[in-house]
Amino acid sequence: MSKRKLDSKAFAKQKQGRRKWITFVRMCRYGVNNFSRNAWLTIAATAVMTITLLIIFIAVASRAVLVDTVGELRDKVDMSIYLKTDTPDDQANAIKDELLKLSTVRSVSYVSAAEARTIIAEENKNDVKYLAALNEATNMNPGILHITVTNIDDTSQLSNFVNTDKLLKQYIDPSRQPSFAGERKASIATIGHAINFAQEVGIIASLVFIAVSSLIIFNTIRMAIFNRKEEIQMMKLIGADQSFIRGPFVVEAIVYGFIAAIIATGIGYGLLYSSASTLESYQIAVQPMIDFMTLYVAFILLGMIVIGALIGVISSLLATRRYLKL
């Protein structure tokens, strides 16, 4: 008897699972069919969703490119402190060690006055006149501390170090300002501010277009509900579940996001590849981003689809909750 009960329970559970699967398939089919019912509304919703996802794609890609460019720029920008010609190497190395303790400093290298003169001579070894003038020159080159910082927009620690460190004050060359002071400091700060502004604009544009896209999909689903009012009432009368009535509208919104993600990703890749040579001519480090996106194209497309689907699902659920009155 117990065995028969177990068999009947297993059969009922299997039947229930099959029914749920059939219901899910029907919801998906109705949702896809609904996608093609109102052509102009569908085109408008998909177009805005495409623009939204494209803006997100461009904002994320631009930020990555900016980070790579700043990384290269950080290593190229000359952050130097000039020491007197007669500075002993042990004192210069002591100053170097103190600089390395600063949290904003990544690395420090020291070139003594003699080494600087040798480097200049080696770089101009084919220029006989220049070498002769160099040998006759009475003024000596300064020792140079070359510094790499973590953020080119923040040189406050370095400036404070120059102004307060007692050992450095004894050996710093009074005739030469550090390269991160004066006009150079203003130029470095301008670069940093421009990068931060570009990142903020990208984030704001993404949020604005997400809101606009969600609103349009919300209104599209609302109009679809109004157009199928009698059909929905009939489904309620025959005892259709709330999830079955709401499901096709959610599927429809997911289809918007899916198609828009494919289009936006294709356009985004096209823009990135077509503008690569132009961006590189302006010393913008775009190649690392191209390599990354080429290697992980499937994951990027999947991420775009997920974002598009989330925007569609949230908009659809809000619309169905408000206007279906379930």
3-state secondary structure of 187: helix
Helix (H) or strand (E) holding 82: strand 79-83
SS3 of residue 151 by DSSP:
coil
| AA letter at 182 | G
Contact between residue 192 and residue 151 where contact means Cβ atoms under 8 Å apart: yes
User: What pLDDT is stored for residue 120 in this prediction?
Assistant: 60
What secondary structure letter does DSSP report for 81? Answer: E
Which residues have CB under 8 Å from 26's CB, separation 6+? 244
- Nearest Cα neighbor of 283 from 14, 55, 77 is 77
Quote the CA–CA distance of 199 and 74 in Å, as a whole number.
Answer: 17
Look up residue 67 and give its amino acid. Answer: V
Q: How far is 253 from 31, CA to CA, in rounded Å? A: 8
49, containing H or E segment: helix 39-76
- Res 198: pLDDT: 67
Side chain identity at residue 52, one-letter code: T
Contact 228, 240 (CB under 8 A): no
State the Cα–Cα distance between residues 173 and 153, nearest whole angstrom: 24
The pair of three-digit structure tokens given for residue 53, joined into one six-digit string: 């996802």
Quick one: three-class SS letters along 87-133?
Answer: CCHHHHHHHHHHHHCCCCEEEEEEECHHHHHHHHHHHCCCCHHHHHH
pLDDT in tens, the chain (326 residues): 455 555 566 656 666 667 667 666 766 676 667 666 666 777 877 888 888 888 888 878 887 887 777 767 666 666 888 888 888 889 989 999 999 999 888 889 888 877 776 766 665 666 555 545 555 554 567 888 888 887 776 778 888 898 898 899 898 988 888 877 555 556 666 666 766 676 677 678 777 777 777 777 777 767 766 766 676 677 667 776 777 777 777 788 888 889 999 999 999 999 999 998 888 887 788 898 899 999 999 999 999 999 888 888 887 777 777 666 54
What pLDDT, on the 0 to 100 scale, is given for residue 2? 53
CATH 1.10.3470 fits 79-178, yes or no: no
Tokens of 178: 């550090």
| Whole-number Å distance between alpha carbons of 316 and 309 | 10
In angstroms, the CA 70 to CA 191 distance is 9
Is the pTM higher than 0.75? The answer reads no
Pairing of strands 79-83, 105-111: unpaired
Q: Where are the domains of the chain?
A: 34-72+191-323, 79-178
pLDDT at position 107 is 87
